[in-house]
Amino acid sequence: MTLDISINNHDFVLHCSGALYWVQRHMLLISDVHLGKVSHFRKYGAAIPDGIIHKNFIKLDEAVNHFDPESICFLGDLFHSELNNEWQLFHDWVARTNLPIVLVAGNHDIINPQKYHDINIQIVSKWVLDGFLLTHYPEERDELFTLCGHIHPAVELRGKGRQFLKLACFFRSAHQMILPAFGEFTGTYVMQPTDQDAVYLIVKSQVIKL
């Protein structure tokens, strides 16, 4: 279910949901949930099952219950678009979870910030903490290690013939790690790792280093 790693003398736990737990900070980091995306697409006629909406909140609860964090940081694209009926579900989840929450705003976070402030969520554009840069967009800096999202990273594993398997992953380079998209209704972008990169695959209920 999890995999322990170390980055710059800090301990992190990779969870099969795509969440990342920062041990020293007791903080859960989650990227690209894209709440509201299902309702947004339904508005324009897409036939999408109800269960996907609730599965996002089930995954959030599972990650929170597993780690029992002291705070949560969403690394952007928490809500996909304008307000829709999924906002109330999120409002109820925040009240039930009852933890300090910070949103590092992403390109899809277009809801009026006052709505987040009303439920005690702090919004920032970037956050530098203990030598780490928490941001939505990939941004490598020599003096900081970046934790980010946005890309929805995945890799393709190819077998003989035309067989291939695409798996979401945590993608780590020298000064940066890109978290996988947490949301159930999101696409992926296939990365091309080099020998210097580390890839941590999400394989069903496991996280495995490639």
Average pLDDT on 131-145 reads 95
| Rounded Cα gap, residues 138 and 116, in angstroms | 24
The answer to whether the beta carbons of residues 165 and 157 sit under 8 Å apart is yes
For 188, list phi and psi in degrees, rounded to 5.
Answer: -135, 160
Can you read off the two tokens belonging to residue 48? 């999408």
- Paired residues of 35 in beta bridges: 79
The answer to whether the beta carbons of residues 180 and 19 sit under 8 Å apart is no
Helix (H) or strand (E) holding 43: helix 37-43
* Matching residue, tokens 């339904």: 42
**CA-to-CA separations, 138 to 143, 149, 169, 197, in angstroms, rounded:** 15, 7, 15, 15
**Amino acid in position 35:** L
| pLDDT at site 48 | 57
Range name among 6-15, 38-47, 112-121, 125-134 with the lowest pLDDT average: 38-47
Q: How confident is the model at residue 38 (pLDDT cuts 50, 70, 90)?
A: low
**Which residues have CB under 8 Å from 155's CB, separation 6+?**
166, 167, 169, 171, 190, 191, 193, 199, 201, 210
Q: What is the pLDDT of residues 141-190, one digit of tens each?
A: 889 999 999 999 999 987 666 677 899 999 999 999 999 999 976 889 99
| pLDDT at site 40 | 45
Pick the CATH number of 2-209 from 3.60.21, 3.40.50, 2.60.120, 2.40.10: 3.60.21
**Amino acid in position 93:** W
Task: Please indicate, yes or no, whether the overall pTM of this predicted structure exceeds 0.85.
Answer: yes
Q: How confident is the model at residue 22 (pLDDT cuts 50, 70, 90)?
A: very high
| Rounded Cα gap, residues 117 and 207, in angstroms | 34
| pLDDT at site 72 | 98
CA pseudo-torsion sign 30, 31, 36, 37:
negative
Q: Supply angle C-alpha 33, 168, 27, rounded to 5.
A: 50
Query: Where along the chain do its domains lie?
Result: 2-209
